[in-house]
Copies of this chain bind each other. A is one copy, B any other.
Amino acid sequence: MRRIETNGYSLEVGSIIESSFSNLLKQKYADSKKVILVDENTHANCLSYIITNFSELSEAEVIMLPAGEDSKQMELTYSVWEALTEYGITRFDLIINLGGGVITDMGGFIASCYKRGCDFINIPTSLLAMVDASIGGKTGINLGHFKNQLGVFSNPVALYIDPVFLSTLPGKEVLSGFGEMIKHGLIADAELYNAVRDEMLHGETLEEDILVRCIEVKNEVVKQDPKESGLRKILNFGHTVGHVIEGHFLPTLKLSHGHSIAIGMVMEAYISMKRVGLSVSDYEELATFILGQYQLPEFSDEDIKSMLSMLQNDKKNRADKILCCLIPALGECVYDQEVDEQMFLETFMHFKNLQVNLN
């Protein structure tokens, strides 16, 4: 059990059975009603593990949502608020989010807006949620196809990250989580990047030390800048291009978030090489490694035109400039870098031609 210091809540990595969870339930929430929010997958694969091991939850209400990003909308969110109201949940009760990023994002938002804020605990079950989504207080839902358009900054009372749940994940989901782990290395810790790469290339089961280090990177950044007024923006490395790739290919390829971000990182590393001095050898090494793990999607001139137009609408832009994070070296990141449309066009063209060569 590893305890990581945060801004005012409890973050523990390791077996939840040995964590402070049981004591917290017994002490702070003895008289509170408990609600567990799950999706179809965690209802089938994770809920019984929790219920069996924690008798304090024997009378908890369980609310189940359909799995997947499509659930992350107001209609279902509102139906959960109605259910909480029906169960007579007060602001002294507790909501436990047991699931991947959709459940922790959405459940955090639901709890934070219910009666102006009800306590919640996150138990992430996907690798992506463990190393990224569940940490840092970003909660939210989508508005139509605008991702996380509605939300608040709000931290859980406690966050328990138990690798036991990783065995319930399909390979695509694990690969998606690794995308964000690569990012944590690239922006903050070259040694971590090397360790993640070695793990992906040669590892069997994920080393807990690497998981902990990834969580520490995310936690350190959000501790210093909880509301993303500066430093926290480095966590968006790979996301300017990555979000566009994710959105553009959603109807056809359905790339996972981590997969899209991985491709985005290679492209933004390419821009970093052209603009802020990332060495050619470092760029080539990381591009070869990442594109070996995450297939580069094929795209046409028409796709490029559409992606360039999406870039103009990015949430991180200010006063119509496209802002991007770049890495001058492995383990270093600079944010709020203005990149013009021409550079993005050149980058997309480079990877379009690379795609032809890879085939």
Interface residues of chain A, those whose CB is within 8 Å of chain B, are 31, 74, 78, 81-82, 85, 90-92, 109, 112-117, 138-140, 143-144, 146, 148-153, 227, 315, 317-319
Contact = CB atoms under 8 A, between A and B. Distances in A.
B81 A116 contact: no
B152 A117 contact: yes
Nearest to A91: B315
Given A74-B74, A74-B78, A90-B318, A113 B146 contact: no
A112 B116 CA distance: 12
| Copies of this chain present | 2
Contact of A92 (B92, B143, B150, B318): B318
Given A143-B82, A143-B85, A318-B92, A116 B151 contact: yes
A138 B115 contact: no
Given A315-B90, A318-B90, A318-B92, A153 B85 contact: no
Nearest to A116: B151
Contacts of A144: 82, 85
Contacts of A319: 31
B143 A315 contact: no
Which of A91, A109, A114, A116 is most buried by chain B, counting CB atoms within 10 A of its CB?
A116
A133 B48 CA distance: 45
Given A74-B78, A315-B90, A116 B146 contact: no
A114 B78 contact: no
Given A90-B318, A113-B113, A152-B152, 17 more contacts: A74-B74, A74-B78, A81-B143, A81-B150, A85-B143, A85-B149, A90-B315, A91-B315, A92-B318, A109-B113, A114-B149, A115-B150, A115-B151, A115-B315, A116-B151, A116-B152, A117-B153
Nearest to A153: B116
A149 B153 CA distance: 19
Contacts of A74: 74, 78
Given A315-B90, A318-B90, A149 B78 contact: no
A152 B113 contact: yes
A88 B319 CA distance: 11
B113 A150 contact: yes
B152 A140 contact: no
Which of A113, A139, A152 is most buried by chain B, counting CB atoms within 10 A of its CB?
A113
